[in-house]
Amino acid sequence: MQEVNYEKVQRLTSSFFVHLFLILVSLSCLFPLWWAFASSLKTQASVFTDLSLFPRVPHWENYLFAWTKADFGLYFLNSLFYTVTVVIGVILIASMAAYAFSRLQFPGRNLLFLILISTMMIPIPGSFIALYVLLNKLNLVDTRLGYILPQINGGLALGIFLLKTFFDDLPKELEDSARIDGCGRFRVYWHIALPLARPAIAVLAIFNILAVWNEYLLAMLVLSNKNLMPLQRGLMVFQGAHITQYPLLMAGIVITILPVLVVYLALQKHIIKGITAGAVKG
């Protein structure tokens, strides 16, 4: 009986320290977000003197000023269009390529797959010079298409790798049954493989949403027209050569964070399934 109690105490103690560590890690991740939110409700004069985590007199009008002064409405719609277009493009192209690599047998399949996967080691800024020259020759500089296509291309390697791994684990008996019922290769992909891959697609979607929504360097390279700039460009309005309007800047940061946070919470269930899919095999 004493041994059982000792093991129970040891287990509870271990669980307590593990949960305490996880709570501290969570607080360290959430504190910068809360500090940005609290700073967005302060004035320019009190942002560094008032160290409270929530100001006594919150200035909610900072969000209205940030939205109107930085033309956030225009930038928000641009980023929304870019994000939706890139995510749809990556999912469609990567899923078809991944299904082909998983199910079709053709010469050089493994070599081509390795070449595609190896491109993940090349960061996008490392190819900026060649990319700009190519876009300039194609007359795509300062166009929406010239900003969208490189981002779709940048997300394909990870998408193909992730979805091919998922398609490899799907039982082929489902596809064989559909083929017997008269479904062609594309109908099997569209009606069976793609719906079953929703967890992996959710993971791929959130990765690309984060990448496109937070993208800034490529926009500064390709775009010069203010009407085509994404949301991150709006944050630069508050950063001057001598003065930075920190409350408005923090309000703009909170505005940019909220949509991604909502999407993540909406897809959280599928994201967890997609990350853990294939981790445990019977």
Rounded CA gap, 232 and 256, in Å?
8
pTM for this predicted structure: 0.83
CATH 1.10.3720.10 domain span(s) along the chain:
71-276
Q: What percent of the chain has pLDDT over 70?
A: 93
**Maximum Cα interatomic distance, the chain, rounded to a whole number of Å:** 80
**What is the pLDDT, as a whole number, of residue 1?**
45
- Mean predicted confidence (pLDDT) in 134-154: 93
Class of the domain covering 71-276: mainly alpha
**What is the pLDDT, as a whole number, of residue 242?**
57
Residue 244: DSSP 8-state: B
- Mean predicted confidence (pLDDT) in 118-145: 88
Q: Does residue 241 register a pLDDT over 80?
A: no
Q: Give 142 or 174, the one with higher predicted confidence.
A: 142
pLDDT band at 281 (very low <50, low <70, confident <90, very high): very low
Alpha helices (runs of H) in the chain, residue ranges in sequence order: 2-39, 61-69, 72-103, 109-118, 128-137, 144-169, 172-180, 185-188, 194-196, 198-213, 217-222, 231-235, 246-276
Q: What percent of the chain has pLDDT over 90?
A: 31
Angle between helices 144-169 and 198-213 (to 10 degrees): 150
Rounded CA gap, 243 and 246, in Å?
9
**What is the pLDDT, as a whole number, of residue 277?**
58
